[in-house]
Amino acid sequence: MTAPRVRPDSDAGPSGRDQVLAVVADRVEVLRGRGRPVRVGVDGVDGAGKTTFADALGAHLTDRGVPVVRSSVDGFHRPRAQRYRQGPASPRGFFEDSYDYAALRRELLDPLGPHGDRRYRTAVHDVRSDERVDEPVRTAPDDAVLVVDGIFLHRDELAGVWDLSVFLDVPFAVTYARMAVRDACPPDPADPANRRYLEGQRLYLAACDPAARASLVVDNTDPAHPRVLAGRD
């Protein structure tokens, strides 16, 4: 199983970085004006370009005069002992134990939701130091847009929290080539050193079908020329 390919008539959708960002931003704008922030998730496998895409979307919205709150699921890692409780090489451990979804909802997503008080924090844990982050509480404007990037954003634990979500569709061969440059991991997805992460993400793709759950699916194989492959209301 590879990263999902949603390709039957993909040439019909908008393409080009600025055009695709405008399509997503237009969808976001439609959701504003309801008296609370709009919550946007940018999902994809490791190396799909989520952070870059989310940063660009945030900048695009800022240029439109939209107040943006940027965050990443990486600020909500569980402590190392919990992440590796099923073993350091366990794909299931990677899928099941990497993130503290209760904290993500409690500190960020729910406060910016329909019944929230707009008082939020964008991180609770530093994965590098494996220490808790005591980030100050901030208050979001009621017309803000929250843009969160990260893996596993269409898990069942996060069902219903995204007002709009994007899944970046990129083959594993491409993502691992990128990560070989970024993280010095082996470029071959099938290398044994990649097993925990590759198979953990395959578990996610099989269990949650994020391409089907996302509001928009974007082919981000070439980040300079992404293409919208599919969308739903």
pLDDT digits (tens, 9 = 90+) for 135-164: 999 999 999 999 999 999 999 999 999 999
Order across the sheet with 68-72: list the strands. Answer: 68-72, 145-149, 38-44, 164-169, 216-219, 227-231
Quote the mean pLDDT of the chain: 93
> Smallest Cα–Cα separation from 194: which of 63, 71, 89, 115?
89
Mean pLDDT, residues 79-97 = 98
Residue 8 clears pLDDT 60, i.e. is over it: no
Q: Give per-residue pLDDT as tens, 31-64.
A: 998 899 999 999 999 999 999 999 999 999 999 9
Residue 78 has pLDDT above 80, yes or no: yes
What mean pLDDT do residues 126-138 have?
96
Distances (CA, A) of 11 to 18, 21, 48, 89: 17, 17, 20, 39
- Token pair 């500190």 is found at 107
User: Hey, what domains does the chain have and what are their CATH numbers?
Assistant: 16-231 (3.40.50.300)
Query: For 1-13, what is the mean pLDDT?
Result: 46
Q: Determine the pLDDT at residue 147.
A: 99
**Band of pLDDT at residue 216, cut at 50, 70 and 90:** very high
Distance from C-alpha of 149 to C-alpha of 135, rounded to nearest angstrom: 19
CA dihedral 171, 173, 174, 178 (to 10 degrees): 130
**Mean pLDDT value of segment 24-36:** 94
What integer is the mean pLDDT of 180-204? 95
Q: How confident is the model at residue 10 (pLDDT cuts 50, 70, 90)?
A: very low
Region 170-199: mean pLDDT is 94
Q: How confident is the model at residue 14 (pLDDT cuts 50, 70, 90)?
A: low
Highest mean pLDDT among 31-35, 89-93, 228-232: 89-93
pLDDT above 80: residue 12: no
Contact 20, 227 (CB under 8 A): yes
